Amino acid sequence: MLRIHDTRAGQVVPVQFGRLVRIYTCGPAVHRRAHLGDLRTHVLSDLVRRILERRRARVLACRNITDVGHLNDSEGDHEDAFRADATALNLRPPEHTPRASENVEPMIELVAKLVERGHAYTAPDGSVFFDVRTFPAYGELSGDRPEAPRPADWALWEPGDGELSWDSPWGRGVPGRHVACSALSLRFLGPAVDLHLGDIERCFPHDEAERAQSDAATGHEVVRHWVHGERLLFDGRAGSDVVLLSDVTAAGLDPLAVRMAFLEHHYRRRLDLTWDTLRAADRTLRRWRSRVAEWAESPSAPMAAGHVERVESALGDDLDTPAALRVLGELERDGSVPPGAKLEAFLHVDQVLGLDLPIDIGKAPTLPAGGQTWA
């Protein structure tokens, strides 16, 4: 069983799933490079996917590309850079990665439906606003309840005549900043989403608005479970945007050291990364790869099933990755377990952790400086 913290419920709940699990993850805004704080969210989403697939569920995932209102000549490079970062971090590609700019028509249809159902109203300048007073459940997700007499409504459609603008029943303009996720999740996943993942800083107002829009348009609760990861700091500063994955690799560290560092901390705890943290994660990653390569030279043996069961139990208990890694550390040091059994366990678990632990199998060991090989 998988248990995970549901933000709306305010507690860890069991996730009941059938053969197909639909997951939506708020994607990158490609007007800038994705920073490590952004990437933590996507590693979380990938981890959830891998855990579900290990439990034999088929995952249908959607991760949008947020480009409406931001596109310029260099933005294609930022989208490509995000995809490169995703590959470097071993993120399994979602089935759907729609660009917002290529799906404006569904957004217009969603806004029109909200107007038709009395959840939105038009302004004289051609703007369309969501009337939050028509959605009593607003605020349940984040705890931010609207205050009388007039809570702040938000724009579903904004007038504009720039190069990136579209015709609509309310005049030429652009979709509001919260509309894309509602429209794209409904279009590509349908009216029932099992898991919605994002970072806690998007919970309000973005996810709160998305929930109101989707539920008001469909007349029912669209998302079963809202899952949020905590924020990331770097050297105690909130500006994690100053550190990119390319900065990590430029410092000579493996990009998967970032994934390892994320896994060493629980997703619901604020993570204060430092260069020392990343270097330590890099050392652990390289050591485990070296151990796996060594164990691969030993006679085969049945997998260390007890350790694997403990790892999978930890991962199923609200994604307790620190506990899972501690079990692997114990297994690494356990002299009573045959090397072949350790190998099978590490390979099995790595299919979920995604750390490329077998990458050094079959490679010649690296000699220290001045080392000599003999014919």
Q: Assign 119 to helix, strand or coil.
A: coil
Average pLDDT over residues 334-338: 98
Residue 279 gets the label, from left (phi > 0), alpha (psi -120 to 50) or beta, of alpha
Could you count the other beta carbons within 10 Å of the beta carbon of residue 48? Answer: 24
pLDDT in tens, 352-375: 999 999 999 998 766 444 434 443
Average pLDDT over residues 292-298: 98
Query: What confidence score (pLDDT) does residue 71 get?
Result: 47
Residue 339 has pLDDT above 90, yes or no: yes
Q: Name the DSSP letter for residue 133.
A: G
Asked whether 90 and 259 are in contact (CB, 8 A), the reply is yes
pLDDT in tens, 312-330: 999 999 999 999 999 999 9
Asked whether 245 and 81 are in contact (CB, 8 A), the reply is no
The per-residue pLDDT of the chain, averaged, comes to 93
In which element (H, E) is residue 308 found? helix 305-316
Residue type, position 10, single letter: G
pLDDT in tens, 142-191: 987 665 445 589 999 999 998 889 999 999 999 999 999 999 999 999 99
Q: In the CATH scheme, what is the code of domain 252-267+274-356?
A: 1.20.120
In which element (H, E) is residue 155 found? strand 154-159
Q: How far apart are CA 242 and CA 130, in angstroms?
A: 35
User: Which of the following CATH numbers is that of domain 2-229: 1.10.3720.10, 3.40.50.1820, 3.40.50.620, 1.10.490.20?
Assistant: 3.40.50.620
pLDDT in tens, 54-113: 999 999 999 999 998 654 444 455 899 999 999 999 999 999 999 999 999 999 999 999
Going from N- to C-terminal start, the domains of the chain cover: 2-229, 252-267+274-356
Q: Name the DSSP letter for residue 271.
A: E
Query: What confidence score (pLDDT) does residue 72 get?
Result: 47
pTM of the model: 0.93
Q: How far apart are CA 193 and CA 93, in angstroms?
A: 18
Q: What are the phi and psi torsion angles at 191 (to 5°)?
A: -80, 10
Asked whether 275 and 303 are in contact (CB, 8 A), the reply is no
- Tokens 């905590």 belong to 230
Alpha carbon separation from 95 to 54, 89, 186, 252 (Å, rounded)? 18, 17, 14, 32
Bridge pairing between strands 58-63 and 120-122: unpaired
Closest by CA position to 181, among listed 319, 27, 21: 27
Strand pairing partners for 225? 195
Residue 274 has pLDDT above 90, yes or no: yes
In which element (H, E) is residue 5 found? strand 2-6
Q: How far apart are CA 71 and CA 31, in angstroms?
A: 6
Residue type, position 356, single letter: D
